[in-house]
Every structure is written in structure tokens, then in C-alpha cells.
């Protein structure tokens, strides 16, 4: 995946020009919506409320007013949920003015077990309401080992800090590009929190990336004038296997996420439907993590092609997959590559495509109807879908279902404690 682009510094926060904006209202929250916000109603209008919990009564300030809904920030909790706790990040607490709250820990005021239940509800609602899937397997959102011991903190191995025009370093405020000065980074692994330049002034910088690889020294990458310095390779580890990648290349953020997803993908594949000689695929393959998971389960002779649009990642994937004689890594946009694969296949290749297992790990927006249509046109034996957004997954699952591919297994993981994000791993196949 490409390195993250340098963002513009502190563009103005968008504010709807409506008399309701700035109004303070009392609200009773009744549910949770995708994106880490809660749902309430005011005089019949839906209001999406930040920093609340279902079942609470809060005083909130309207920040956006449209004809169909409002958005609001919690100012005061009038009747608290039994699941509310002191926020794990004091600089994101509801006790601060909303515009001065650090973003990136929007569930930090909720007990961990209830966070996971809310994430489950969001994913289940998306499958039912958006995916129109009423027979999805039951699932819970699983905690990663040791996560609850530290209240869901100390897990981020990658942190991006931004720099304000005056040189202040910090995270963005929630839902804005305003840099918030902070004195702590509780979600970061301790070694990154210790080196973060939170008290410095970096007037000539745009952002600072902190990386804690599994092997080697910590990395600090500062972007200046829209550019970053040349990046050295780093080494990550999953069990006994090493993966080389660019310092700012895509890698799972939680220190245990790569190992967790490796195991989940291996479990999801139906061994009876897997053919090591088929035209197996790892799409949006990055540096080869999930292709390696397949190869480790089914042996060195496994045929699998990893497809990734970012050339540097593909180069690393070729190195990381070198021990599998049937593995290869290619650079290409997935939607274009799968279209050409289907259009140009010989009769023998079409047979291998029908026998294929496809691992699909798209970006947050999902694979999309075009990619799904090309994949199902080749009638693969099974698809293992790794999803970082439940709504995008639900849309894609609906497209798969229209072609007869139902969800046969489903696991969910809390790879991002104290945020609203959740990771899903599903297997889809036809009867």
C-alpha cells in the first residue's frame, strides 16, 4: 500500500451555516452508529452524538445541522451509563472543550467489554441492513491477548503526529485538522510514547511518524515541505517468520494484529475446498503477510499470486515470499488486474481459477462492486475476506450474495481498542 500522503496543515473546520449550529440540547442516546458516534432524537430528528454511550442523557452542542440529521458533541453527562469509565486519555476526555479533545480514542470512555459489544452491534446491523444478509453466522468481537490488562492501551506500533503552523506537535482533534497539544500517547507502545516529540516546536515540519518495528531501532520520520527523507527497510515478525518492508509501508498497527490475522485467515480457509495447484490469489497483498499465511498452512508448493498497487510493497512481497516455489508478487491495480485475468484466461487457466481460494484484504472503502463482479465471474471455490470496515464489507457481501456466495464463517477482532474500529475475517462460498 502507498505511503500515507502529507496532509495540509490545519484547514478550517467545516461548519454548517444553520441557526441550529451552536445550540445546546439535552439528548437521550438510544444506540450506536458506524463511526464511533451514538444515536439520539431531538424533536423527531436524528442526532449523531460524539463522546456518549447508548442509554445516557447528555447535554450536547450541535456542530452540524442538515435537514435529515444533526451532529453534536457531548458537553456534559447528565445521566451516565454503567459502562462509562474515566477516559484512558485525559486529553480526549469529555471534561475538555470538544474542539480541544484529542482524536483517535473515541471509545476510550467506555469499558472494554462494552466497546466490543457496541462494535459487534455495528457490524451485525451493517450486515442485516446494508448487506441484506439475515443468515450471517453469530459472532463476538474477540479481545487480543493481554489487551484488557492495560485497559486497552499500549498497543500502537505506528503513530502519526501533526504539526501546527506555530510548530506545535500533536494529534488532530476529533473530526478536524486542528493540532491538539498533548502530554501523553496512551495507545502507543511505551517505547514510542517515550520518544514522541510532544514538547518540541517543529515549525518546518508537516508531520512526524513514529514506528516501532519488531526488529531493529525505533524510527522517527519527519515530513518537511511535502516530502519525506529516503526510507530504509525495517523488519517485522510473525512467529518465526520475518517480513521486510519500507518504514512507512503498510503493516498492521496493533503489535499482535499480524499474528492474529495470520491465524484467522488460516482457520477461515476450508481445507477440503483448497487446491494448492489452483490460481490462488492474495489481493491487496501488501508485503505478502496473508499470502505467507496461506503458504505456511498448505506447503511450499502452494501456488499463490499476491497483487498490490504499490510497487515498493510488491518488491518486498517478492522477497518475503521467495521460499514458496509457486508464489509470485505482481504490481497492479486490483480492479484492472482481475479484469485482465478473467478476460485473457485459457481453458486450463479458467479451470484453475474455478478451483482458486482468494484472500481479499481491501482498503477501508472495500473491494467494490467492480472487483467483486470480476471475481465471481471466475467462480472461485472460496473467498476469505479480511475487512477493516463493517459497512464496506456489508456492501461487498451483498454483491457476493447476489452471485450465490454466502458467509460460511465469521470472526471479529478488537485490533483497535478504545477506538470504534473492528476487523472481520469471513469465508464466503457457494453451496
Q: Does 405 carry a binding-site annotation?
A: no
More confident residue, 412 or 68: 412
38 in any annotated domain: yes
Spatial CB neighbours of 276, under 8 Å, sequence gap ≥ 6: 298, 299, 301, 302, 303, 326
| Span of 7-21, 90-104, 294-308, 343-357 with lowest mean pLDDT | 7-21
- 301 and 413 part of one domain: yes
Facing residues of 304 across strands? 280, 327
Residue with cell 470480476: 374
Counting the structural domains of the chain, the total is 3
- 223 and 271 part of one domain: no
Whether pLDDT at 1 is above 70: no
345 in any annotated domain: yes
- 351 and 261 part of one domain: yes
105 in any annotated domain: no
Which among 253, 278, 303 is the end of a domain? 253
* Cβ–Cβ < 8 Å for 214, 237: yes
- Indicate if the alpha-carbon torsion angle 420, 426, 430, 431 is positive or negative: negative
92 in any annotated domain: no
Q: Does 266 carry a binding-site annotation?
A: no
- 191 and 52 part of one domain: no
The whole domain housing 248 covers 156-253
Tell me whether residue 208 is one of the annotated catalytic residues. no
Provide the 3-class DSSP secondary structure of residue 339. helix
Strands 158-163 and 57-65: unpaired
The average pLDDT across 65-76 equals 94
Cell (9 digits) for 131: 448487506
Report the CATH number at residue 54.
Answer: 2.40.50.140
Residue with cell 456518549: 52
Whether pLDDT at 177 is above 70: yes
361 in any annotated domain: yes
34 in any annotated domain: yes
Cell (9 digits) for 256: 499482535
Whether pLDDT at 7 is above 90: no
- 282 and 342 part of one domain: yes
- 387 and 269 part of one domain: yes
**What local confidence, expressed as pLDDT, does residue 20 receive?**
86
**What local confidence, expressed as pLDDT, does residue 300 receive?**
86
Residues 219-271 pLDDT 10s: 999 988 767 777 789 999 999 999 999 999 999 999 999 999 999 999 999 99
Separation CA 194–CA 182 (nearest Å): 13
Q: Does 308 carry a binding-site annotation?
A: yes
- 242 and 262 part of one domain: no
206 in any annotated domain: yes
Catalytic position from the list 388, 392, 397, 428: 388
- 141 and 289 part of one domain: yes
- 131 and 276 part of one domain: yes
326 in any annotated domain: yes
Q: What percent of the chain has pLDDT over 90?
A: 86
- 326 and 421 part of one domain: yes
- 122 and 215 part of one domain: no
Residues 296-335 pLDDT 10s: 999 988 999 999 999 999 999 999 999 999 999 999 999 9
**What local confidence, expressed as pLDDT, does residue 17 receive?**
52
The average pLDDT across 357-385 equals 96
Q: Does 361 carry a binding-site annotation?
A: yes
- 123 and 184 part of one domain: no
Amino acid at each position: 500500500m502507498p505511503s500515507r500522503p502529507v496532509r495540509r496543515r490545519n484547514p478550517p473546520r467545516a461548519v454548517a451555516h444553520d441557526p441550529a449550529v451552536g445550540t445546546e440540547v439535552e439528548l437521550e442516546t438510544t444506540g450506536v452508529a458506524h463511526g464511533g458516534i451514538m444515536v439520539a432524537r431531538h424533536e423527531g430528528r436524528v442526532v449523531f452524538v460524539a463522546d456518549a454511550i447508548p442509554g445516557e442523557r447528555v447535554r450536547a452542542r450541535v456542530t452540524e445541522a442538515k435537514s435529515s440529521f444533526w451532529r453534536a458533541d457531548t458537553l456534559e453527562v447528565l445521566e451516565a451509563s454503567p459502562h462509562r469509565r474515566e477516559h484512558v486519555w485525559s486529553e480526549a476526555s469529555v471534561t475538555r472543550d470538544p474542539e480541544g479533545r484529542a482524536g483517535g480514542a473515541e471509545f476510550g470512555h467506555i469499558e472494554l467489554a462494552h466497546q466490543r459489544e457496541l462494535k459487534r452491534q455495528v457490524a451485525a446491523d451493517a450486515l442485516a441492513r446494508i448487506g441484506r444478509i439475515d443468515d450471517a453466522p453469530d459472532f463476538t468481537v474477540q479481545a487480543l491477548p493481554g489487551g484488557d490488562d492495560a485497559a486497552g492501551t499500549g498497543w500502537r506500533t505506528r503513530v502519526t503526529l501533526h504539526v501546527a503552523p506555530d510548530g506545535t506537535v500533536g494529534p488532530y482533534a476529533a473530526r478536524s485538522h486542528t493540532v491538539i497539544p498533548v502530554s501523553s500517547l496512551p495507545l502507543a507502545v511505551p517505547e514510542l510514547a517515550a520518544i514522541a516529540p510532544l514538547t518540541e516546536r517543529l515549525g518546518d515540519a508537516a508531520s512526524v511518524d513514529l514506528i516501532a518495528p519488531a526488529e531493529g531501532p525505533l524510527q522517527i520520520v519527519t515530513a518537511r515541505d511535502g516530502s519525506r527523507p529516503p526510507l530504509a527497510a525495517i523488519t517485522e515478525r510473525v512467529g518465526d517468520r520475518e517480513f521486510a518492508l519500507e518504514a512507512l509501508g503498510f503493516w498492521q498497527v496493533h503489535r499482535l494484529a499480524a499474528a492474529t490475522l495470520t491465524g484467522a485467515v488460516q482457520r477461515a480457509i476450508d481445507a477440503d475446498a483448497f487446491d494448492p495447484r489452483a490460481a490462488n490469489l492474495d489481493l491487496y497483498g501488501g508485503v505478502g503477510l496473508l499470502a505467507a499465511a496461506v503458504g505456511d498452512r498448505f506447503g511450499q508448493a502452494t501456488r499463490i499470486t499476491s497483487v498490490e498497487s504499490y510497487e515498493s510493497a510488491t518488491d518486498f512481497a517478492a522477497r518475503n515470499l521467495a521460499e514458496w516455489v509457486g508464489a509470485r508478487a505482481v504490481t497492479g491495480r486490483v480492479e484492472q488486474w482481475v479484469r485482465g485475468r478473467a478476460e485473457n484466461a485459457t481453458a486450463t487457466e479458467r479451470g484453475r481459477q474455478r478451483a482458486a481460494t482468494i484472500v481479499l484484504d481491501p482498503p477501508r472503502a472495500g473491494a467494490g462492486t467492480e472487483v467483486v463482479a470480476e471475481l465471481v465471474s471466475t467462480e472461485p471455490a472460496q473467498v476469505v475476506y479480511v475487512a477493516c470496515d463493517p459497512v464496506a464489507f456489508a456492501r461487498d457481501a451483498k454483491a457476493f450474495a447476489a452471485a450465490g456466495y454466502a458467509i460460511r464463517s465469521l470472526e471479529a477482532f478488537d485490533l483497535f481498542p478504545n477506538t470504534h474500529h473492528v476487523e472481520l475475517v469471513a469465508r464466503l462460498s457457494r453451496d
